[in-house]
Structure 1
């Protein structure tokens, strides 16, 4: 009982605090004891920034957890943003939140807790994007063999751009467009995404030409330095680019998600330049080799065709042999042409001579007049005879007709009708009309016959004159007129050889203006010698005397 009284006295002497005073006291105690701490743990419950711009999540390990907050101003300055499930080392101040009676960590900086955590996050992201098909082989496009314009997305101040330009200049100089970006830091991924979208937005024929190939390049570094190229938005931009992309991020041992999404992964920026264009010298050599092989092939083909042509030509007859028979037939026809032409002219002349008297227009006109007169006389005689015959028939049949039976009377009447019709057709007027019609038909024929006959006669005269001129040109008399003579014996036969003459033999010499007798002297005949050269004044024939 006394003990209970003592405890009551003690409790009545304890100082009394308000809730706010206790909270403030706890806050000062925690902040004084843990003013600046580094806490290692796994991020849990991170859903991005709050509408106010602050970020709230929990850091946990196997046994405990602590609430964490990143204020809006601090979040924008973080070099490494918090991500769900990532193990980090958070640096900040430990404080309390009086309204909820909790303590929390106000973070000033976050950094990954070793490469293992980043690799685990990277692997998880890679599997998720691969499941969407962003890294599928069928999505990758073939690179252009010889791009005229190449777009390079990299830092303009580093050694990467110099290596790329130098390598392109050595292999095959090309037009290069550089889009400057940051390749490290929190804004690097966004700048590369903007560069990819900017190059793809260019149109053909615009002031800035559209690249045919893009190179995303960066030098080597740690996984933290290259973390911007593992950004999900950047990976999607590379996969959706309409222009083929070569990824040249880091060294050969460095791997980022951009390498999986790109159409080709180059181990280094220099290797990317080598993959972009061929070697100009090798290309020229290859083209020259193809040209030389083409020339050799063409030469071999031409040689083979020439051999085949020679073989085919050897199996064919000579062109001269093909036309030899026709040439002989032509020569034979030409030799017979003159005689055939002459015989034809003579034959036609004889035939025309026989026909010409009968085709004289005056003779034809006279014959027409004679026939017209004869026809007029015959018509007059026929008319008189018919009239006499009719009268005699009437006188002869009149006494008898009364005694004939009626049937005979009808027969005589029919014959009389027939005779009357014949009399009408034989009337002088009808005959004169027929005569005039015949004269009208003959008169145009006679008029056309006279010019035709004259043309035929003129044509035959011209042909005869032509043949006469040809005959005169081929006649020996034209040769005699130029100063030569024809030697004939006493019988009038032509002597063509000096050996056929005997001394004292009488001959006749035919000149152009007459014939002169002569006697062969006793001198032996001289052998005719052919001159070495002849001029226009020399005659190819020589006189026998």
Structure 2
């Protein structure tokens, strides 16, 4: 019977622990040892719960690690996590006693280099293109001579000055500027809200409704221009009821906003040139037409005199 019943012997230092006790010991050991870690891996099984929490796995060729990001952190992410993206996750390791597993509680999530950023860009482009947001038949013609021009950009940068100067040189126009951030946290939401705000203006209301909208920003790196690749901005431009000119970055820069807009301008100055004709050229054309009209009227008279 001595082999059937566990007995505690005097001086025994291997006292049996409960499952909860060993789980708590493991939890403290893991959290003390790995209180802060940065892990590189590929996202898999990304799922955003109704509560707002983000659940995923980080994996490489040899192992898989579960991860969770609480609602507050998930809302502050600068990109939309998708399966297959290579990321750098910052957080702390902890254990989940209910399933005898360990996981990382993610506090920050970043793309692992420009290659991962370009991969995310291509995934988003393909997905939105499949919805028809970039289809050529959606593109509208720009008005020949807009009376009111709406500009979505930063009110303090060189971009708005370049646009205003170019418009003044070509054809002085009524310009409405909707000030927004064009880079960093919250920029995409502000740009999308501005485009939708212009689109929602009623004709003949207290605030004149633009005939064309220019979304503009100066040049920069792919990270600097990333707000104009965000889905919220692309959808706002595609759904805008006013023709939109995208003028983001320099001539070699391309964003998803360019695909969604009715026209893409290589620079903000070029966008102003697209928006209005040259007033002097119009005046010359009108004077030439008036001269031709006078000649057409007088020619029968002259023939009659002859």
TM-score (normalised: structure 1):
0.51
Q: Which range is displaced more, 28-37 or 166-175?
A: 28-37
Residues 443-522 of structure 1 correspond to what in structure 2 (within 5 A)? none
Residues 120-150 of structure 1 deviation map (CA, whole Å, 9 limit, x = unaligned): 2222222222222221212111101110100
Q: Any idea what SS the aligned residue of 2:88 has? A: strand
Aligned to 2:191: 192
Is 2:47 the counterpart of 1:52? Answer: no
Residues 65-464 of structure 1 correspond to what in structure 2 (within 5 A)? 65-307=64-306
8 A Cα contact 1:140 1:263, kept in partner: yes
Is 2:56 the counterpart of 1:42? Answer: no
How far does residue 16 in structure 1 lie from its aligned partner after superposition? 3.4
Aligned to 1:20: 20
CA distance in 1, matches of 2:13, 2:230: 64
Aligned to 1:30: 30
How far does residue 253 in structure 1 lie from its aligned partner after superposition? 1.4
Q: Which has the higher helix share?
A: 1
Residues 179-198 of structure 1 deviation map (CA, whole Å, 9 limit, x = unaligned): 12222234222222222222
Residues 269-321 of structure 1 deviation map (CA, whole Å, 9 limit, x = unaligned): 111111101111222222223333444454555433432xxxxxxxxxxxxxx
Q: Any idea what SS the aligned residue of 2:223 has? A: coil
How far does residue 237 in structure 1 lie from its aligned partner after superposition? 2.2
Count of residue correspondences: 297
CA distance in 1, matches of 2:281, 2:297: 24
Aligned to 1:371: none
8 A Cα contact 1:75 1:81, kept in partner: no
**Where does structure 1 lack aligned partners over 5 or more consecutive residues?**
1-8, 308-545
8 A Cα contact 1:81 1:110, kept in partner: no
Q: Any idea what SS the aligned residue of 1:47 has? A: strand
Q: Which has the higher strand share?
A: 2
Q: Which has the higher contact order (CA 8 A, sep 6+)?
A: 2
The structure having more radius of gyration, on CA atoms, is 1
Superposed CA RMSD in Å reads: 2.2
Q: Any idea what SS the aligned residue of 1:88 has? A: strand
CA distance in 2, matches of 1:141, 1:226: 25
Q: Any idea what SS the aligned residue of 1:104 has? A: strand
**Where does structure 2 lack aligned partners over 5 or more consecutive residues?**
1-8
